[in-house]
Amino acid sequence: MTIQSKNTIAIPPGATIREQLQYRGMSQKEFAERMGLSEKHVSRLINGKVPLSPSVADCLEMVLGVPAKYWNRLEAAYRTDIEKIAAENEMDEDRDLVKRFPYNEISELGWVPKTRNLKERVINLRKYFEVSSLRLLDDALITGIACRKLGESEKSNYALITWAQKAKLEARKIETSPVNIQRLKKNIPEIRKLTLEQPLDARAHLREILSQSGIAIVYLPHLKGSYLQGASFSDHKKIVLGITSRQKNEDVFWFSLFHEIGHIIQGDIHLPDGPSREEERRADRFAADHLINPEDYRNFVGQHDFSVEAVSDFSNRIGIDQGIVIGRLQKEGYVPFNKMNQLKKQFIA
């Protein structure tokens, strides 16, 4: 059985055995009897479907008069060529796959070395993803990643895989306690209070609080075309929670954070096929209701006063930053998107 790539052909030792039999006018049946093997095994040997063992090489020397070391060399060369062909074909497949990843963008971010050479890009991405072949990066590796994003496409899925891997690599640098979901639930009021702090302080305190529950929070730049706001997934003994800087307003940051916390508490990060639309909606509801109590919010909007003074008074009363209230009002159409944005804090990754 001849195996080949664009540059290499692997010819099994069986091809030489066939030539020897033809030269001698010997049938495979007679040859099998002289070798003390079954006809089936001889057929498989000639077609390269079974390896030529040293003991068979010794028999070949007796039957065909060709030294055993010659047959052993042929077998070794054949196996080497097979491995070379597999590597070459794998590289060809990965050359096509590498074009789907946002290589230029992540090389600018310093996540992988800069290069225009396709083979070098393949090798760099294999190292980045910690896989022997990019073919292994199928949906199985995305499974269980709960995320908040605004759209989906093939490009966004490859961007998501790339972004999640960086989150995983960065999370390894963060020490955490064992995963403790009950502790996370108890810490939600404390996490909510962080909305009143300045962004840099809030991010530092947030990392400390979440690490106590076995969660490593990572802040990463947004990748173009990923539509990603945040993602969470389990990685061995910790949970990784990543937040992007796709939109830097505090309302988006905190909503994305609580959305991911909702996924974690609800167990969505362990779903074999990832969260469904219903689970995404449930995480949205979790975020909205834990940031602003539903009854308080209904009472507030029922007054139909959305002035700066009213928003500030309401925010102070419920103990949350006014930027989050403004974002909610904008999303639900009570306040235009181009109004009051100057009152929102900015989170810059």
* Domain span including residue 144: 140-343
Tell me the HSE value of 268 on the side-chain side, using a 13 A CA sphere. 27
Alpha carbons 136 and 297: distance in angstroms, whole number: 47
pLDDT at residue 151 above 80?
no
Instruction: Average the pLDDT over 94-119 and give the result.
Output: 94
CB 148, CB 229: distance < 8 Å: yes
Out of 137-146, 159-168, 218-227, 316-325, least confident range: 137-146
Please give the share of the chain, as a percent, with pLDDT higher than 70. Answer: 93
Same domain, 214 and 114: no
**Encoded tokens for 127:** 């190292």
- Label the pairing between strands 9-10 and 3-4: antiparallel
Same domain, 144 and 133: no
Q: For 110-135, what is each residue's pLDDT tens digit? A: 999 999 999 999 999 999 999 888 98
Same domain, 117 and 40: no
Same domain, 151 and 282: yes
Instruction: Average the pLDDT over 244-269 and give the result.
Output: 88
Instruction: Average the pLDDT over 315-332 and give the result.
Output: 95
Domain end point (choices 38, 72, 93): 93
pLDDT at residue 185 above 60?
yes
Same domain, 46 and 148: no
Is this prediction's pTM over 0.85?
no
pLDDT at residue 215 above 60?
yes
Q: What per-residue confidence (pLDDT) applies to 247?
A: 60
Instruction: Average the pLDDT over 100-104 and give the result.
Output: 94
How many domains would you assign to the chain?
3
pLDDT at residue 146 above 70?
no
Q: 3-state class of 53 per DSSP?
A: coil
pLDDT interval class at 269 (50, 70, 90): confident
> What residue ranges in the chain does DSSP mark as E strands?
3-4, 9-10, 146-149, 215-220, 228-235, 238-244
Same domain, 314 and 198: yes
Alpha carbons 123 and 118: distance in angstroms, whole number: 9
Alpha carbons 246 and 222: distance in angstroms, whole number: 5
Q: What per-residue confidence (pLDDT) applies to 349?
A: 55
Instruction: Average the pLDDT over 243-247 and give the result.
Output: 73
Q: What per-residue confidence (pLDDT) applies to 89?
A: 87
Same domain, 130 and 155: no
Out of 5-14, 269-278, 310-319, least confident range: 269-278
**Encoded tokens for 343:** 């009152």
Q: For 30-71, what is each residue's pLDDT tens digit? A: 999 999 999 999 999 999 899 999 999 999 999 999 999 999
Q: What per-residue confidence (pLDDT) applies to 5?
A: 78
Alpha carbons 182 and 190: distance in angstroms, whole number: 14
Domain end point (choices 93, 122, 156): 93
**Encoded tokens for 49:** 């479907």
**What one-letter code names the amino acid at 89?**
N
Alpha carbons 164 and 240: distance in angstroms, whole number: 9
Same domain, 108 and 190: no
Question: Is 173 inside any structural domain?
Answer: yes
pLDDT at residue 246 above 80?
no
Q: What per-residue confidence (pLDDT) applies to 141?
A: 53
Same domain, 128 and 157: no
Same domain, 162 and 31: no
Residue bearing the bigger pLDDT, 227 or 266: 266
Domain end point (choices 83, 118, 137): 137
Q: What per-residue confidence (pLDDT) applies to 72?
A: 97
pLDDT interval class at 1 (50, 70, 90): low
**Mean pLDDT across the chain, nearest whole number?**
90
